[in-house]
Chains A and B, each alone.
Chain A
């Protein structure tokens, strides 16, 4: 736990340092320009982020000292690193969400949601093909129908609308 806190705090300090650096000097390769600390009317666009980053760095260092000097804890890796099966489920969720984000506009909501639900259900341990098929259909076509048709929420239709629409899906 202590190691985790130290790593997280160092990451935060680096983030604040990077923000401050970007604010003062900018970074051409990242298309970032320096922000003025002051202008004719008063504090400029760089004023607030600069001081926030400065406070963040100071607090980060303070937290590093607090954690480093705090009572030594037993290595509690069990609570930080999930067991194998749980780690698989978590990684599967992240990968499938990323895949869904990639596929959402090219394939449309219905196809993406159908595949996403089916694969996520399998990854989380559901085994019944009937239950997975029904929930995938309800979650993709059913949800699309409710949100797109009834509630007029704009969702990506995808290239297969000419096939799905005549089928009533």
Chain B
């Protein structure tokens, strides 16, 4: 009952004209970020953070969250019309969405993606309302050992699902954690790896690093291979036919459940739910041979799973303070910039703010549906903007964003340095997501570990004598062993390899 009261209070605050305007602006900007190839959701959200500097914390997070799920939808448009995914989760939509566009059914593909995304997202928000408060209450009972084990589990999942080599995945996590060590020691306050440079006392800025790894590096990759021609398809008739509806209902329902469930697990990236949904629909179909040549189920299921995941992935962030993907990590960075620490205490200390943000997800989903169905043609037109303008604009916003966080040119250099590193690592196929999560979780992970060891006077068995900690450590080991021995289900391995 208390939860419902809080939610209604949050909904009322989220419905204020000001917050509605922030959500609308975020949805439009997010869709734009998703539509423009070369700007992924992580970089897009990071470079737009300066827009929120003078907003109140609720308004800032509402806008940035709307950018996040707007980008998740926007990526679909490029997948269908360009065969180029705007973000990783839309990779699978390219297969049948692009074929539908070539068959003159691009409008229907985008229409069902918008409707499926709305249904999946709305259900996920309603389920989020139900599970968030109990999960936060449970997390309040966690001590440092439990948080350490939970963060380790999340990092193991990200690492295990990161790419072709488990060793490379763990290595990149270690790199991220080590970068996080630069600056003042979070427990004793001693400077580490600062070399007497005052700019390093606060550590390497998370946002400039993300802008470099995902923004500048992505632009360099785009400049190397500019994107292809837009497919001319029928976008006037965006509502699916009766047969297409009938074929899509099942995939939408299954995609919703799958996306929501996987979004709750800290560390499962956005590509896994979409890939699993596609494989599941193909297996369940009576005519699997249609998949790959324009089956609407291949668009409806994954797109629904994608949006259900995007909303459900806010659960681990809001209740446990653990981000599931680089984009969610950027959102976590935005929380911190606004003086908020995501996690169970946020529900106790700022309940109205948390519930306002949660309620805004629901409003955002409605806005995205309204924006995307009638405006599909407009978004398609944006795809015709020459790639050079997109690159130049993104680079300019990267400079502006990196500088304005601390008014420091040093951050611009950090962004540039990590841009070059990110470009080289992308070329070599090293996974970047584990490094980003390691970077943002590093200080908390170290603090939890050292506080736990102080509690036990240096005895490591503290992690084996507490049931939750032990369970999470066993699960972490299972994830790594399953990945190392290549025992994961084939569809997960294929999605991780993508």
Contacts and interface: CB of A to CB of B under 8 A. Distances in A.
Interface string B432-466: 00000000000000100110011001100000000
Given A56-B171, A116-B399, A135 B389 contact: yes
Given A97-B416, A155-B404, A45 B53 contact: no
Contacts of A135: 389, 392
B223 A31 contact: no
Interface in A97-112: 97-98, 100-101, 104-105, 109
A55 interface: yes
Contact of A30 (B177, B195, B423): B195
A132 B454 CA distance: 61
Nearest to B407: A154
A167 B193 CA distance: 47
Contacts of B453: 42-43
A90 B404 CA distance: 25
A59 B170 contact: yes
A59 B167 contact: yes
Interface string B179-212: 0010001011010110110000000000000000
B178 interface: yes
Nearest to B220: A90
Interface string B387-420: 0110111011001100110010100110010011
Nearest to B168: A63
Contact of A155 (B54, B178, B400, B420): B400
A12 B175 contact: yes
A35 B425 CA distance: 30
Contacts of A139: 392-393, 396
A44 B188 contact: yes
B389 A89 contact: no
Q: Which of B53, B168, B392, B428 has the most CB of A within 10 A?
A: B392
Contacts of B413: 101
A32 B188 CA distance: 17
A42 B219 CA distance: 45
B283 interface: no
B165 interface: yes
A79 B427 contact: yes
Contacts of A101: 399, 409, 412-413, 416
Interface residues of B, dominant DSSP:
helix
B275 to A, nearest CB: 24
B392 A62 contact: no
B289 interface: no
A117 B424 CA distance: 24
B224 interface: yes
A48 B188 CA distance: 13
A120 interface: yes
A143 to B, nearest CB: 7
Contact of B223 (A36, A43, A89, A121): A89
Nearest to B175: A12
A8 interface: yes
Contacts of A59: 167, 170-171, 174
Given A42-B458, A143-B400, A48 B181 contact: yes
Nearest to A88: B223
B430 interface: yes
B426 to A, nearest CB: 11
A30 B427 CA distance: 32
A48 B443 CA distance: 10
Contacts of B457: 42
Nearest to B388: A124
A40 to B, nearest CB: 10
B216 A97 contact: yes
A120 B458 contact: no
Contact of A89 (B51, B175, B196, B224): B224
A80 B428 CA distance: 8
Nearest to A87: B224
Nearest to A116: B396
B220 A154 contact: no
Interface in A15-65: 15-16, 19, 22-23, 30-32, 35-36, 38-39, 41-49, 52-53, 55-56, 59-60, 62-63
A52 B224 contact: no
B450 A8 contact: no
A92 B49 CA distance: 26
Contacts of B188: 39, 44-45
Nearest to A126: B388
A157 to B, nearest CB: 12
A30 B429 CA distance: 33
A125 interface: yes
18 contacts: A12-B175, A19-B178, A38-B458, A43-B454, A43-B458, A45-B185, A45-B192, A49-B193, A52-B177, A59-B170, A66-B167, A97-B416, A116-B399, A117-B396, A135-B392, A143-B400, A153-B53, A154-B404
Interface of A: 1, 4-5, 8-9, 12, 15-16, 19, 22-23, 30-32, 35-36, 38-39, 41-49, 52-53, 55-56, 59-60, 62-63, 66, 79-80, 82, 86, 89-90, 93-94, 97-98, 100-101, 104-105, 109, 113, 116-117, 120-121, 124-126, 135, 139, 143, 147, 151-156
Closest 8 CB pairs of A and B: A31-B196, A42-B454, A45-B185, A124-B388, A89-B223, A86-B224, A101-B412, A45-B190
Given A120-B395, A155-B404, 7 more contacts: A36-B190, A38-B458, A39-B188, A56-B174, A93-B391, A124-B388, A126-B386
